[in-house]
């Protein structure tokens, strides 16, 4: 088990807007109540998995401080950390407590830990344009190949949550990674959220930008993004078509305006700092920026559909 758990420490690699700001983003302002949550209902639960080996873009990798991950491995082996049961279906588990023997029974000899799984409460304050995540629990994810008649089938990968870590902070906090960058996609085929209105959230993020109330940047080079470029990225276009009257010979211009399509935004890329409690191993996230991602279906010359993703902009958060 120690060898497999140590893989967690070795494999924990992640990568770590054009107008004056008119919406107040300073949480210290007394006039802004940062406890307000405009996501309804109030307790919005979001499930997401951060995979270390399958990032969408290259060179998105900065090491997580492995010291406290190694310490977690040792504490788990010595039963000094309270663990809770998880299940393979990636849903909130019961509060059944686990022992190190329970963890051992979840281990598979040919399994690898390539990701962490988070259950979080999300809150967004429109007035302050502030976004918070409260981690309900997190778990290492074990991946292994399915065996059929004693043979390993490399085409069938099974995932299992080893255990949940949750609770209150008990010790000091240690920064384990800065500028972690990862994408959360709201794929309808996966259980990603509970009672979460994606369309509403997209409007909360994008509307103030299009209205010129929030500054944005290009995701890759941090240059300023114009509102027109953002609208075009979302599908906005203005086409002028000249028509000639066959009877009079006079020409006229018809203007066809295509509005931006916010429904194309199905994912977000977050840049965060992560800290871990040195005793309870509870993780806390500080969101530094958010970037909406549009997803569109295109068809190639053979008639086959393929997905095209585009990062619309990046907004830095306080």
Residue 77 vs residue 7, higher pLDDT = 77
Residue 59 vs residue 185, higher pLDDT = 185
pLDDT confidence tier of residue 23, bands split at 50, 70 and 90: very low
Confidence at residue 65, expressed as pLDDT on a 0 to 100 scale? 59
Number of domains in the chain: 1
Q: Note down the domain range covering 184.
A: 2-316
Closest CA to 39 of 136, 131, 134: 131
Confidence at residue 67, expressed as pLDDT on a 0 to 100 scale? 61
pTM for the full model?
0.75
Query: Each residue of 176-196: pLDDT tens digit?
Result: 778 888 888 886 555 567 678
Residue 98 vs residue 287, higher pLDDT = 287
Residue 194 vs residue 311, higher pLDDT = 311
């Amino acid at each position: 088990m120690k060898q497999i758990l140590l893989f967690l420490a070795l494999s924990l690699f992640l990568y770590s807007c054009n107008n004056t700001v008119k919406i107040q983003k300073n949480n210290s302002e007394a006039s802004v109540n940062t406890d307000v949550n405009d996501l309804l209902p109030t307790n919005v639960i979001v499930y997401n998995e951060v995979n270390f080996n399958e990032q969408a873009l290259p060179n998105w990798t900065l090491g997580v401080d492995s010291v406290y991950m190694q310490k977690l491995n040792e504490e788990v082996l010595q039963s000094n950390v309270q663990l809770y049961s998880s299940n393979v279906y990636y849903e909130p588990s019961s509060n059944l407590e686990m022992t190190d023997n329970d963890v051992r029974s979840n281990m598979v000899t040919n399994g690898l830990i390539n990701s962490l799984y988070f259950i979080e409460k999300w809150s967004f304050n429109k007035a302050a344009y502030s976004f918070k995540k409260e981690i309900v629990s997190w778990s290492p994810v074990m991946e292994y190949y399915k065996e059929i008649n004693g043979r390993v089938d490399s085409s069938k990968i099974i995932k299992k949550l080893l255990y949940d870590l949750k609770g209150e902070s008990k010790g000091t906090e240690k920064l384990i990674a800065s500028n972690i960058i990862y994408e959360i996609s709201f794929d309808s085929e996966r259980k990603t959220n509970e009672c979460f209105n994606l369309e509403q959230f997209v409007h909360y993020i994008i509307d103030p930008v299009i209205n010129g109330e929030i500054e944005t940047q290009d995701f890759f080079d941090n240059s300023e993004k114009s509102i027109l470029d953002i609208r075009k990225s979302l599908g906005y276009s203005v086409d002028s078509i000249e028509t000639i009257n066959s009877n009079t010979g006079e020409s006229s211009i018809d203007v066809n305006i295509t509005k931006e399509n916010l429904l194309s935004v199905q994912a977000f890329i977050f840049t965060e700092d992560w800290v871990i409690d040195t005793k309870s191993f509870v993780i806390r996230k500080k969101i530094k920026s958010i970037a909406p991602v549009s997803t569109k279906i295109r068809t190639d010359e053979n008639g086959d559909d393929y997905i095209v993703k585009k990062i619309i902009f990046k907004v830095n958060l306080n």
